[in-house]
A and B are shown apart, each in its own frame.
Chain A
Amino acid sequence: DQQVKQNSPSLSVQEGRISILNCDYTNSMFDYFLWYKKYPAEGPTFLISISSIKDKNEDGRFTVFLNKSAKHLSLHIVPSQPGDSAVYFCAASDRSGAGNMLTFGGGTRLMVKP
């Protein structure tokens, strides 16, 4: 069973506009969430994270929102740039467990058109 889901396999956005990537989870024990960006033939690069005690975290053009009651998080990129074109993965961990292993969604391919 998929505990972390990204229901949109792809998203196309015009340069300068907002990109919104969504992620849903089912495991209520998850208390830390991360977004990674991945270019082809490279490993995932950490973007931004949020703890379950917060509902928003912002870093430059990137903002992550967490809605615990809906078990939903989203990543907003404003303004979107062509260099943002990549696959974005959301990941979750249960910090009460040993090891903090990450459970990933299936990814969303973002294409930002000039």
Chain B
Amino acid sequence: DTGVSQNPRHKITKRGQNVTFRCDPISEHNRLYWYRQTLGQGPEFLTYFQNEAQLEKSRLLSDRFSAERPKGSFSTLEIQRTEQGDSAMYLCASSRTGADTQYFGPGTRLTVL
């Protein structure tokens, strides 16, 4: 069990650029979640996948955000036309279906200049 991994760990970009983050969940976990954490706040739910199906999206996920999990394994989160308000830590978590505990990766810290 190698844990949840996320890449890159840090990303600095200019406003208006597109960015993509990757999450590799724990191998036998078929649920994958994305959360966003801003300074001084707790993580906020963005979206989740059951295998390759995206089953729930938060209203925080504007149309500039898109997430995929094409083969039910790793997932990508893309932000188009980044804005300074997108600066945050983007966290990925995974769990087995029916399990109540989610295990988090180290996060990707995005800074939009």
Contacts and interface: CB of A to CB of B under 8 A. Distances in A.
A104 B6 CA distance: 21
Interface residues of B, number: 27
Given A99-B31, A99-B48, A101-B48, A46 B42 contact: no
Given A43-B105, A43-B107, A98-B56, A104 B100 contact: no
A102 B50 contact: no
A42 to B, nearest CB: 6
Interface in B95-111: 95, 100-107, 109
A42 B48 contact: no
Given A42-B106, A102-B93, 18 more contacts: A41-B109, A42-B107, A43-B93, A44-B91, A44-B104, A46-B104, A98-B56, A99-B31, A100-B95, A100-B102, A101-B33, A102-B33, A102-B43, A102-B45, A103-B45, A106-B42, A107-B40, A107-B41
A22 to B, nearest CB: 14
B24 to A, nearest CB: 13
B42 A43 contact: no
Contacts of B40: 106-107
Interface string A15-59: 000000000000000001010100001111110010100000000
A103 B45 CA distance: 7
Interface in B57-113: 91, 93, 95, 100-107, 109
Contacts of A61: none
A7 to B, nearest CB: 13
Contacts of A41: 106, 109
Contacts of A100: 31, 95, 100, 102
A44 B43 CA distance: 9
Contacts of A36: 104
Contact of A43 (B44, B91, B100, B101): B91
Nearest to B48: A99
A95 B98 CA distance: 9
Interface in A92-114: 93, 95, 98-107
